[in-house]
Amino acid sequence: MQTVPKTVTVAPDSELGLTLKAARASGVPVVVDTGEDRYTLVLDLPEPPRDVLDGYDPQAAIAAFRALDAAFAGVDREELLRDLRAQRSQNSSGRPG
């Protein structure tokens, strides 16, 4: 049986809310003392953003663009652009024409 964690809502400007923000910034756990028990809260720190250029291979990118060019072989460029402009001018959900 899988256990689902219980969520407790805390006002962000409360003492606990501010303490948790400081803990996130410092990476230091928070000890909550209820008078009956002590609880150590260890925050899940967000993963640092991944470097989007990590592992980037410029030669592979060039090869992909060349393959894409071959995929459009025989397509009338002007007709394609006209069709795209016409589609962009149509009303769509969340984006008026």
User: Can you give the pTM of this predicted structure?
Assistant: 0.42
Give the pLDDT confidence of 43-92 residue by residue, as tens digits.
887 777 788 888 899 999 899 888 887 888 889 989 999 999 998 888 77
**Residue 41: count of CB within 10 angstroms of its CB:** 12
Q: Which among 9, 29, 7, 5 has a CA at the least distance from the CA of 19?
A: 29
Domain extent listing, the chain:
58-89
Asked whether the beta carbons of 35 and 17 are under 8 A apart, the reply is no
List all residues 6 or more positions away from 89 whose beta carbon is below 8 Å from its beta carbon.
Answer: 97
